[in-house]
Amino acid sequence: MNIEEKITIPKELLWDYKEPPDDIFWQLQRIVDFFPAYGTDINTVKLLFKHRDKLKMEYGKYKLIGIYNEIWEEKSSQRN
């Protein structure tokens, strides 16, 4: 599955910006800070999983992102 290197940052997470910075790591960090309340869609989870070692997060969130990624992979393989 191809991952699009672009995500949508919910307006609720942009209290200090009108528009999110055009930096994928800033965007992913903002999402991971509020995960799993935000960012559980397939593309965002895939990007979080792909870049998880470059982001600051608690070990529990690290593991939770792995679980979400597994679930999305299972769902994707069931469709094929």
Reported as a single tens digit per residue, the pLDDT across 9-61 is: 999 999 999 999 999 999 999 999 999 999 999 999 999 999 999 999 999 99
Contacts 24+ apart (CB under 8 A), 28-37: 28/55, 29/55, 29/56, 31/7, 32/56, 32/57, 32/61, 32/65, 33/57, 35/61, 35/64, 35/65, 36/64, 36/68
Indicate the pTM of the whole model.
0.89
**Dihedral in degrees, nearest 10, Cα atoms 9, 14, 20, 24:** -50
Reported as a single tens digit per residue, the pLDDT across 54-74 is: 999 999 999 999 999 999 999
